[in-house]
Amino acid sequence: MFHKENPDYNRRQVGFYTLEELVPKDHFLRQLEETVDFSVIYDLVEDSYSSDKGRPSLDPVMLVKIPLIQCFYSIRSMRQTIKDIEVNVAYRWFLGLSLDDKVPHFTTYGKNYSLRFAETEVITRIFEHVLNLCLTAGLVDTDEIFIDGTHIKAAANNHKYRR
């Protein structure tokens, strides 16, 4: 039935749902979660964290899962990835965030990532590990692989004039 006198009718409904119910059983992120044991990450990054210094840090598994979302869903920037996580129930489920949890700000994510792992190969090892598991499980189709080879003219010296 249409509610032309109240177009916000469906937007104001209240219901009791779990994220588990809202994410389809065959969703790719469910398959990824079943395929990859992300708990391995805690052991790999243990030396990068201190239990008694500073503020509580972002969960290292979340730090790995966020760029996986960006990669698997071809999101162009971390800023856009964070915006998409804010509104996507499946992304929140995958990251272990409730609907009330704040998503890390993209700059917080970047700083945490670069300061903690900049001089290590741990992120590369984790990404390769996850990618290999996904390939083995058949979650990634390798029939066609695209690489961005766009040539962009550099504007390195705007004061240099050429005829």
DSSP codes of every residue in 86-97: HH-HHHHHHHT-
| Reported pTM | 0.72
Query: What mean pLDDT is predicted for residues 128-143?
Result: 82
Helix pair 60-72, 28-35: axis angle to 10 deg: 130
What is the tens place of the pLDDT at every residue in 10-69?
777 777 888 899 999 999 999 999 988 888 888 877 766 666 665 667 788 888 899 889
User: Where do we find the tokens 């700059």?
Assistant: 107
What is the tens place of the pLDDT at every residue in 53-69?
656 677 888 888 998 89
d(CA 73, CA 75): 6
Spell out the domain ranges in the chain.
56-140
